[in-house]
């Protein structure tokens, strides 16, 4: 382990968690370097965690929400003091560049601030009653222990969006992070523990880490004492989670794959559009659920845009994501690289003209999978274009007519994020209207990735329909009660029904 890495592990207080042997190996995608081992959670321990979370729930649910918010404010403060270190650890384990690692920590800081404000605004409605001397209202209550299943690509922020809201809403969390980014998860849990241990009114086990694979998730998917499972990851994983949790009529919140498109209209500000495409397609080495994967360009500007994109894709700085100036780090592992190559082969068979996409730096990093991003000119939106490949592949297609572009844009199974670059107000409005983009995120003159925490985040169709992060997504983490209060001294029934014994 490098000197800086071991210093950061020490400053985050993580040495005691690392073992020289264990059944879950930790490594960095940068060069395959081993970071040690941690112990897998057993099924028996996972069941025990549920009992502990239930006990914590009974205490935490009665702590006033503004006080719960105050705990989260302090988590935000703690994160500010170690933004650099945690950002580094995220980059080391997920392979994203440092700038993005830091950005991820910032997302959690932001959601902590959001939660503090929200802690005094968990509002319910009051309704007018049809009965005299009656009042009706809605109240929102804590739901119970929440299981959070999170992916490798945002190893801290996705936990943050879910955890912070769950805790704010009065629910303990059991977190099953990706097996590829366990150290980041341990660091986040350790930070929270540091903050929460200062509060007398906070019960133990508000956050428990369940480390392992599907067998561990299964314990939470099947258990009635987990009223909500929030899972972020692939559509395949989401299908499985939905089926398992539905079997017991539990609740699930899914934020799954995207196959995000951008329409580039003839009036587009091309300077900005090219920059937006660059960040959205190449950021996080194409491994965001919001990554731009389909560019639908008006035929009249195709020849102005493609040579510029080719040059950017060819020259983008690829390398160790911890070094300054680098814009693209490695893919998460060999499987991701192989999957990318298989998709490119299919694209070629389906008439695609591929630029880039090959492995680079393999002499320097024999165990790191660095690739040139692929720009693929497609004759039409074929089956491979409709499939999400979690890698830096941008499929490019042309259109002549705006209606055709919209139709092509929506003709994929996923529905997470979308964007249009246009100066034509009518086109922009149509794109955002009922007959426009069918995604959960619909942007004008910015790319599909890089959402702020203030908005609800998630999408439709195979993206799973769930929303996390801003606005009213907190409601998914609470139990709604409709209250009717009678102060009339009579007992009138609704709908004018008479039901008298005498």
Angle between helix axes 157-168 and 65-81 (nearest 10 degrees) is 150
**Gap between the Cα atoms of 359 and 149, Å rounded:** 31
Q: Is 467 in the site for ligand UN1 (CB under 6 A)?
A: no
Nearest to 477 by CA among 61, 51, 55: 61
Q: Is 262 in the site for ligand UN1 (CB under 6 A)?
A: no
The 3 state secondary structure assigned to 391-421 is: CCEEEEEEECCHHHHHHHHHCCCEECEEEEE
| Phi, psi dihedral angles at 102 (to 5 degrees) | -65, -40
Closer Cβ to ligand UN1, 223 or 419, answer by number:
419
What does the DSSP 8-state code read for residue 470?
Answer: S
Closer Cβ to ligand UN1, 142 or 458, answer by number:
458
**Distance of closest approach, residue 151 Cβ to ligand UN1, in angstroms:** 6
**Distance of closest approach, residue 175 Cβ to ligand UN1, in angstroms:** 16
**Distance of closest approach, residue 459 Cβ to ligand UN1, in angstroms:** 11
Closer Cβ to ligand UN1, 178 or 208, answer by number:
178
Nearest to 256 by CA among 471, 469, 478, 467: 467
Closer Cβ to ligand UN1, 219 or 282, answer by number:
282
**Distance of closest approach, residue 329 Cβ to ligand UN1, in angstroms:** 15
Q: Is 154 in the site for ligand UN1 (CB under 6 A)?
A: yes
Nearest to 468 by CA among 252, 297, 273: 252
Only segment of 6-14, 373-381, 384-392, 449-457 that touches ligand UN1 (CB under 6 A): 449-457
Closer Cβ to ligand UN1, 143 or 336, answer by number:
336
What does the DSSP 8-state code read for residue 474?
Answer: G
Among 66, 450, 455, 492, binds ligand UN1 (CB under 6 A): 450
Number of residues that bind ligand UN1 (CB under 6 A): 10
**Distance of closest approach, residue 457 Cβ to ligand UN1, in angstroms:** 7
Q: Is 289 a catalytic residue?
A: yes
Q: Is 499 helix (H, G, I), strand (E, B) or coil?
A: coil
Only segment of 62-70, 266-274, 446-454, 482-490 that touches ligand UN1 (CB under 6 A): 446-454
Only segment of 11-19, 151-159, 350-358, 370-378 that touches ligand UN1 (CB under 6 A): 151-159
Q: Is 230 helix (H, G, I), strand (E, B) or coil?
A: strand
Closer Cβ to ligand UN1, 288 or 479, answer by number:
288
What does the DSSP 8-state code read for residue 492?
Answer: P
Q: Is 153 in the site for ligand UN1 (CB under 6 A)?
A: yes
Nearest to 263 by CA among 442, 122, 107: 442
Only segment of 2-10, 293-301, 375-383, 447-455 that touches ligand UN1 (CB under 6 A): 447-455
**Distance of closest approach, residue 453 Cβ to ligand UN1, in angstroms:** 8
Site track for ligand UN1 across 219-248, x = CB under 6 A: -------------x----------------
Site track for ligand UN1 across 272-301, x = CB under 6 A: ----------------xxx-----------
**Gap between the Cα atoms of 295 and 96, Å rounded:** 23
Which of these is catalytic: 100, 104, 107, 255?
Answer: 255
Closer Cβ to ligand UN1, 13 or 450, answer by number:
450
Cβ-based neighbour number of residue 237 at 10 Å = 19
Where does 333-389 have alpha helices with state H? 334-349
Among 206, 430, 451, 476, binds ligand UN1 (CB under 6 A): 451
**Gap between the Cα atoms of 91 and 284, Å rounded:** 10
Where does 82-181 have alpha helices with state H? 83-94, 98-118, 157-168
Nearest to 291 by CA among 276, 302, 299, 280: 280
Rg (CA), the chain: 24
Q: Is 449 in the site for ligand UN1 (CB under 6 A)?
A: yes
Which of these is catalytic: 82, 188, 235, 289?
Answer: 289
Q: Is 77 a catalytic residue?
A: no
Nearest to 101 by CA among 18, 176, 29: 29
Strand partners, 149: 176, 231
CA-to-CA separations, 376 to 58, 385, 452, in angstroms, rounded: 55, 10, 29
**Distance of closest approach, residue 279 Cβ to ligand UN1, in angstroms:** 10
Q: Is 150 in the site for ligand UN1 (CB under 6 A)?
A: no
**Distance of closest approach, residue 288 Cβ to ligand UN1, in angstroms:** 4
CA angle 231, 235, 237 (to 5 degrees): 55
User: Which residues in 377-436 contact ligand UN1 (CB under 6 A)?
Assistant: none
Q: What is the DSSP string of 355-367?
A: EE--EE-TTT-TT
Site residues (vs ligand UN1, CB under 6 A): 153-154, 158, 232, 288-290, 449-451
* Residues labelled as active-site residues: 255, 289
């Amino acid at each position: 382990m490098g000197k800086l890495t071991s210093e950061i592990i020490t400053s985050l207080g993580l040495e005691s968690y690392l073992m020289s042997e264990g059944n879950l190996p930790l490594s960095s995608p940068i060069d395959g370097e081993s970071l040690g081992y941690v112990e897998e959670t057993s099924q028996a321990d996972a069941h025990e965690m549920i009992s502990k979370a239930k006990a914590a729930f009974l205490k935490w649910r009665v702590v006033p929400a503004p006080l719960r918010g105050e705990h989260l404010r302090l988590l935000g403060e703690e994160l500010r003091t170690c933004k650099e270190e945690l950002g580094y650890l995220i980059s080391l384990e997920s392979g994203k560049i440092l700038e993005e690692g830091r950005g991820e920590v910032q997302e959690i800081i932001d959601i902590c601030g959001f939660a503090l404000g929200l802690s005094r605004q968990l509002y319910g409605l009051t309704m007018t009653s049809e009965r005299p001397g009656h009042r009706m209202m809605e109240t929102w209550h804590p739901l119970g222990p929440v299981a959070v299943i999170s992916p490798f690509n945002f190893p801290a922020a996705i936990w943050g969006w879910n955890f912070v809201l769950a805790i704010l809403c009065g629910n303990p969390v059991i977190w099953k992070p990706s097996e590829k980014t366990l150290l980041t998860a341990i660091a986040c849990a350790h930070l929270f523990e540091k903050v929460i241990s200062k509060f007398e009114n906070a019960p133990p086990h508000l956050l428990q880490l369940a480390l392992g694979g599907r067998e561990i998730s299964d314990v939470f998917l099947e258990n009635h004492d987990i009223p909500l499972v929030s899972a972020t990851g692939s559509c395949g994983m989401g299908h499985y989670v939905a089926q398992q949790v539905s079997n017991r009529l539990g609740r699930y919140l899914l934020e799954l794959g995207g196959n995000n498109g951008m329409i580039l209209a003839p009036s587009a500000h091309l300077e900005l559009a090219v920059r937006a495409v660059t960040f959205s397609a190449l950021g996080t080495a194409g491994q965001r659920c919001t990554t731009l994967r389909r560019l639908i360009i008006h035929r009249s500007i195709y020849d102005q845009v493609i040579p510029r994109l080719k040059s950017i894709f060819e020259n983008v700085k690829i390398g160790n994501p911890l070094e300054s100036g680098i814009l693209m780090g490695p893919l998460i592992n060999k499987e991701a690289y192989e999957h990318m190559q298989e998709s490119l082969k299919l694209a070629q068979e389906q008439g695609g003209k591929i630029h880039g996409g090959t492995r680079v730096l393999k002499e320097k990093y024999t165990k790191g999978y660095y690739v040139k991003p692929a720009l693929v000119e497609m004759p039409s939106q074929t089956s491979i274009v409709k499939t999400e490949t979690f890698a830096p592949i941008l499929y490019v297609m042309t259109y002549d007519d705006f209606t055709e572009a919209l139709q092509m844009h929506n003709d994929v199974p996923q529905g997470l994020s979308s964007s249009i670059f246009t100066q034509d107000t009518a086109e922009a409005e149509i794109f955002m209207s009922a007959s426009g983009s069918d995604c959960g995120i619909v942007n004008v003159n910015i790319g599909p990735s890089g959402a702020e925490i203030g908005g609800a985040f998630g999408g439709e169709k195979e993206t799973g329909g769930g929303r996390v992060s801003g606005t009213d997504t907190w409601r998914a983490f609470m139990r709604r009660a409709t209250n009717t209060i009678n102060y009339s001294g009579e007992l009138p029934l609704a709908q004018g029904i008479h039901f008298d014994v005498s």
